[in-house]
Amino acid sequence: MAKLLKPLVVIVLLLAIAALCIQAFVLFPKRTLIKDRTQKLETGIDRVVKTLKSESSLLSDEAKEGIKFRVGNLKAGTVEDLPRLDRELNVANAAAEAVLIGWQATQDDLEATRLDLENCRAELEKTRGELEDARTQIVQLNDIIRSKDAELAEKSDRIAMLEDEKASLEVQLTDLNEQIAGLQDDMAAMEEEKAVLEAQLKKYDEMFDETIDMKPGTSAVIVYANADWNFVVIDIGSEQGADSGAEMIVYRGENMVGKIRLSAVQDQISIAEVLTDYQTDVIREGDDVLY
């Protein structure tokens, strides 16, 4: 039995050696691959952490100082080194999460900025519309101002013309006032003359009675006529038979133009009152009278 056991043990040992050789032959290339991959992962993680801590990172300076990442801690030679490896990966992960949070906040800020930009764009469009309306109103107001300026210039010319007319009318008014003053003087003189004639008429009325002895057919000619005071002077007097109070017909050619009443009779002339109720035309010097 011992003789059989010894060859069996040798065979088992040979098989074990063969299995180890086969395993080493199979795993050696994978070992090299795993080593290269591990190195690349270490380099990649180190690059990522450096990027997270760069100046363009979203992390604050305080957060960057809090990341105590060491790429050497990613190397694990034994099982006891695995917790250190986990801690270092957790540091890298915490940095990535902090950047992710900052990125989310930045994205929220960008969204808020986008909304503000949209609001600003809407306000800008509204302001642009209001500006266009204001420009249109300015153009309209400028047209109105030009129109008003033209009207003002026209009215100014009109005022200047009226001022000239006013000056001319003032000159005419001065002339008319002077004429009125002259006429008033003439009227005063005529009033005095009228008073004298009325006094003479009263005197002659007292001198002669009311009996009219004037002969029918007695004729005369008007030598003076005053239409304003309605009296005339004829060329006959008491020596030609004129009698105070006699009414005589005034005619021109074959037409009767009025009637007069003798009010004051002198030797060669007589003053007569024009009876307006019988007047058909203005009595003038040269008209004939007949009793």
Per-residue pLDDT reduced to its tens digit, 179-207: 888 888 888 888 888 888 777 766 666 55
* Spatial distance between the Cα atoms of 18 and 25, rounded to a whole number of angstroms: 10
> Mean pLDDT over all residues of the chain?
77
* 282 Cβ contact list (under 8 Å, min separation 6): 227, 257
pLDDT of residue 131: 85
Enter the DSSP assignment of 254.
Answer: T
Name the token pair of 196: 């004298």
Between 71 and 117, name the one with better pLDDT. Answer: 117
Q: How far is CA 176 from CA 164, 166, 169, 180, 237, in A?
A: 18, 15, 10, 6, 41
Place of tokens 């890298």: 92
Percent with pLDDT over 90 in the chain = 19
- Under the banding of pLDDT at 50, 70 and 90, the label for residue 153 is confident
Q: What is the pTM of this model?
A: 0.32
Task: Judge whether 247 and 289 are in contact, CB under 8 Å.
Answer: no
* 236 Cβ contact list (under 8 Å, min separation 6): 218, 220, 242, 268, 269, 270
pLDDT of residue 2: 47
What structural domains does the chain harbor? 9-105 (no CATH), 209-290 (2.40.10.340)
pLDDT tens for each residue of 89-113: 666 666 666 666 666 777 777 788 8
Task: Judge whether 219 and 291 are in contact, CB under 8 Å.
Answer: yes
* Spatial distance between the Cα atoms of 32 and 36, rounded to a whole number of angstroms: 6
pLDDT of residue 191: 83
For residue 26, pLDDT over 60 is answered with: no
For residue 75, pLDDT over 90 is answered with: no
Which range, of 54-58, 107-111, 273-277, averages the lowest pLDDT?
Answer: 54-58
Compute how many other C-beta atoms are within 10 angstroms of the C-beta atom of residue 102. 16
* 222 Cβ contact list (under 8 Å, min separation 6): 232, 233, 234, 235, 250, 283, 284, 285, 286, 287, 288, 289
Task: Judge whether 241 and 250 are in contact, CB under 8 Å.
Answer: no
